[in-house]
Amino acid sequence: MVVRALVIAIASASMCAGTAGCADERTAIIPVYDACFTVDECVETATLCEELAVDFAGFTYFNSICTLACEAQGSVSPDCPIAWVGRFGSCYPSSLAGGVDDTLICYEPCDFDQDCQSGFRCLGPEGLCPAGLASCALDERDAICVPGPY
């Protein structure tokens, strides 16, 4: 947890200066989007340990993340904490990634699988909503960390 906090602080300081969707330099980065079994394992700012289940390549992957509820739906939501990639999280229904309901929660944003912690992968709308992009809650140019083989 300490190493992840240091990586987050260094990454945000170097990547976020003057970038749209990033917090200003006075905003502290707190590692919220860790894997969990219970909310007691999460940092104080996380109020949920949300279990997710994602179908990918013929398999269903399960994992849980520390997160919190949000209201401003979409990518780079000001309701969501900053992730180690230096951007605010994305706010979407829990059910988008196999959660139990449509409660809006914060997801860790990503550009590549390597942006996500072990046990998670980076998926955009094509990977999360294969039935049709028109009905996908995920913004067309957004990607989030969800349970997966990485």
Name the residue ranges covered by the structural domains of the chain: 2-147
Reduced to 3 DSSP states, what percent helix, strand and coil does the chain have, rounded to the nearest 5?
20, 25, 55
Q: What is the pLDDT of residue 12?
A: 43
- Helix, strand or coil for residue 14? helix
CB atoms within 10 A of CB 43: 14
Structure tokens at 80: 């969501």
In the predicted structure, residue 64 carries a pLDDT above the cut 50: yes
Which residues does residue 109 pair with via DSSP β-bridges, in sequence order?
Answer: 144
pTM, full prediction: 0.78
CA distances 56 to 44, 115, 133, 142, 145, Å, are 32, 18, 16, 18, 13
At 98-125, the pLDDT tens digits run 998 999 999 999 999 999 988 999 999 9
Single-letter residue type at 17: A
Residues listed for the chain: 150
Which residues does residue 53 pair with via DSSP β-bridges, in sequence order?
Answer: 62
> Which residues in the chain belong to E strands, given as ranges?
48-56, 59-67, 90-93, 104-107, 120-123, 144-147
pLDDT band (50, 70, 90) for residue 134:
low
The alpha carbon dihedral of 104, 105, 106, 110 has a sign of negative
Stretch 135-144: mean pLDDT: 89
- Helix, strand or coil for residue 9? helix
Across 10-14, 25-29, 62-66, least confident range: 10-14
Across 14-18, 97-101, 107-111, 140-144, least confident range: 14-18
Q: What is the pLDDT of residue 137?
A: 87
At 31-60, the pLDDT tens digits run 789 999 999 999 998 999 999 999 877 889
Cα atoms in the Cβ-side hemisphere of radius 13 Å centred on 33? 31
